[in-house]
C-alpha cells in the first residue's frame, strides 16, 4: 500500500524560501508591526505556491486568536430547496469574509452540538432553532466566542404563509378550503404552524375551518384525497409545500380532476419546478437568501467588534399567482 504523502509544513516553506519560520508566519498572517522586505515576501509566497502549502486551521486560529469556522445548527428535517438556498447564501457571504461554514443537523443521531463545536474548533455557532441557556453555555465552554440563536421569525412566518395561501384563495371566491398535510413526521411541526395560518384566515372570513388530510407522495392516495375534498364541497386546497402540491396535481389528473376548475391548488416555497407544472403552480415565495446574508453580516460584525443588528430577519412571504388557482 502506498503511504500518503507527508504534509507540507511551514518549516518546509521556510527552508525553501531561505527564511525563518517566524518570517513565514509574519508574511502569511500579514502580521502588523513587522517590516518584511518585498523580496523576502515574494520568496515566501513563491515557496508556498510551489509546495502547495496550506496552513493548518489550528495554526491560523492560534495566530488570529480564533478559528475561521462557523457552525450552523439546522433542524433535523427533510432538507428542501428553501433551506438549501439559505445555507448556500449564508456560506457564500461568510466565505467573502474569509469564514468557513460547517452544518450540523440538530437532533440527529450522533454527537451533540457542543461536542461538534469543540471537535471542529468553531468560533461561532448559529442555530435556526432557539437554543436553551444550558446549551448556549456549553457551546461557550466548548470554545465558541459567539452564539447566535435563531435570527428568523420562524413560527410567526410559517403561520403567515398559511394565512397568505388561504387569503389568496378566499379572495378568488372559494368558501370551503382543504389542507394537504405532509406524511413526513419531521415536517409535522412546520405543517401545523402553516395549517394554523389557514385556519386563522378562514375564521376571519367567517367560513368553515379547512379540511386537513394527510397525504403521501402516491398517485392513488392523492387521487382519493382529491375525490374526498370534492365530496366535502372543498373547492381549493392549500398544500404544505410545492412538492405536495405538485404531487396533488398528478393525483387529480389520475382522478380526472383539473386545476383550478375542479380544485384550485396553491403550494409554498416557490421551487423552480413550480413554474413549469401543468398548470403552473401558484405558491408562496419567501426570501431565505436575504436571511442568509443578514445572519452572515451579523456574524462578521460581531467578530470585527461591531454591534450587529439582532432584529429578527423576516422571510417576507408573498403570493405568486399562477394558473393553478
**Nearest partner of 84 among 96, 95, 72, judged by Cα:** 72
Residue with cell 435556526: 128
- Distance, in Å, from the CA atom of 295 to the CA atom of 157, rounded to the nearest integer, reads 17
Q: 313: which DSSP letter?
A: B
What are 308's three cell numbers?
450587529
Q: How many residues does the chain have?
A: 325
Contact between 251 and 239 (Cβ < 8 Å):
no
Q: What CATH homologous superfamily does 154-285 map to?
A: Response regulator (3.40.50.2300)
Specify the domain boundaries for CATH 1.10.260.40 within the chain: 10-55
What are 247's three cell numbers?
404531487
Global confidence as pTM: 0.70
Q: What CATH homologous superfamily does 10-55 map to?
A: lambda repressor-like DNA-binding domains (1.10.260.40)
Contact between 75 and 107 (Cβ < 8 Å):
yes
pLDDT tens for the chain, 325 residues long, are: 344 456 678 888 889 999 888 888 888 877 777 788 899 989 989 988 888 877 655 455 444 456 789 999 987 665 667 778 888 988 999 999 889 999 988 877 778 888 888 888 888 998 877 788 888 888 888 888 888 765 444 555 788 999 999 999 999 999 999 999 998 887 888 899 999 999 999 999 999 999 999 998 899 999 999 999 999 999 999 999 999 999 999 999 999 999 999 999 999 989 989 999 999 999 999 877 777 888 888 888 888 878 766 554 556 789 999 999 9
- 193 torsion bin: left (phi>0), alpha (psi -120 to 50), beta (else): alpha
| Alpha carbon distances (Å) from 83 to 13, 63, 221, 299 | 41, 34, 28, 19
Instruction: Tell me the CB-side half-sphere exposure of residue 226, using CA atoms within 13 A.
Output: 28
Would you call 214 helix, strand, or coil by DSSP?
strand
What are 146's three cell numbers?
459567539
Fold of 69-150: Rossmann fold (3.40.50)
Specify the domain boundaries for CATH 3.40.50.2300 within the chain: 69-150, 154-285
Amino acid at each position: 500500500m502506498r503511504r500518503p504523502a507527508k504534509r507540507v509544513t511551514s518549516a518546509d516553506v521556510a527552508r525553501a524560501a531561505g527564511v525563518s519560520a517566524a518570517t513565514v508566519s509574519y508574511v502569511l498572517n500579514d502580521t502588523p508591526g513587522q517590516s518584511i522586505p518585498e523580496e523576502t515576501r515574494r520568496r515566501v509566497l513563491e515557496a508556498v505556491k510551489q509546495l502547495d502549502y496550506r496552513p493548518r486551521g489550528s495554526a491560523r486560529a492560534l495566530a488570529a486568536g480564533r478559528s475561521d469556522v462557523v457552525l450552523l445548527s439546522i433542524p433535523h428535517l427533510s432538507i428542501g430547496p428553501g433551506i438549501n438556498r439559505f445555507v448556500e447564501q449564508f456560506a457564500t457571504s461568510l466565505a467573502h469574509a474569509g469564514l468557513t461554514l460547517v452544518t450540523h443537523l440538530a437532533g440527529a443521531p450522533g454527537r451533540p452540538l457542543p461536542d461538534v463545536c469543540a471537535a471542529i474548533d468553531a468560533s461561532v455557532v448559529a442555530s435556526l432553532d432557539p437554543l436553551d441557556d444550558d446549551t448556549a453555555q456549553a457551546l461557550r465552554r466548548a470554545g465558541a466566542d459567539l452564539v447566535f440563536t435563531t435570527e428568523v421569525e420562524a413560527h410567526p412566518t410559517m403561520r403567515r404563509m398559511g394565512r397568505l395561501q388561504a387569503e389568496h384563495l378566499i379572495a378568488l371566491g372559494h368558501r370551503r378550503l382543504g389542507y394537504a398535510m405532509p406524511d413526513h413526521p419531521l415536517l409535522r411541526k412546520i405543517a401545523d404552524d402553516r395549517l394554523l395560518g389557514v385556519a386563522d384566515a378562514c375564521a376571519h372570513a367567517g367560513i368553515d375551518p379547512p379540511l386537513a388530510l394527510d397525504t403521501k407522495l402516491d398517485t392513488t392516495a392523492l387521487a382519493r384525497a382529491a375525490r374526498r375534498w370534492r365530496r366535502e364541497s372543498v373547492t381549493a386546497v392549500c398544500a404544505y409545500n410545492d412538492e405536495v402540491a405538485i404531487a396533488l396535481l398528478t393525483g387529480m389528473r389520475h382522478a380526472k380532476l383539473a386545476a383550478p376548475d375542479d380544485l384550485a391548488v396553491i403550494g409554498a416555497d416557490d421551487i423552480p419546478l413550480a413554474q413549469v407544472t401543468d398548470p403552473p403552480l401558484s405558491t408562496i415565495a419567501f426570501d431565505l437568501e436575504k436571511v442568509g446574508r443578514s445572519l452572515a453580516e451579523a456574524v462578521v460584525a460581531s467578530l470585527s467588534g461591531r454591534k450587529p443588528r439582532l432584529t429578527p430577519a423576516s422571510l417576507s412571504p408573498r403570493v405568486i399567482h399562477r394558473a393553478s388557482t
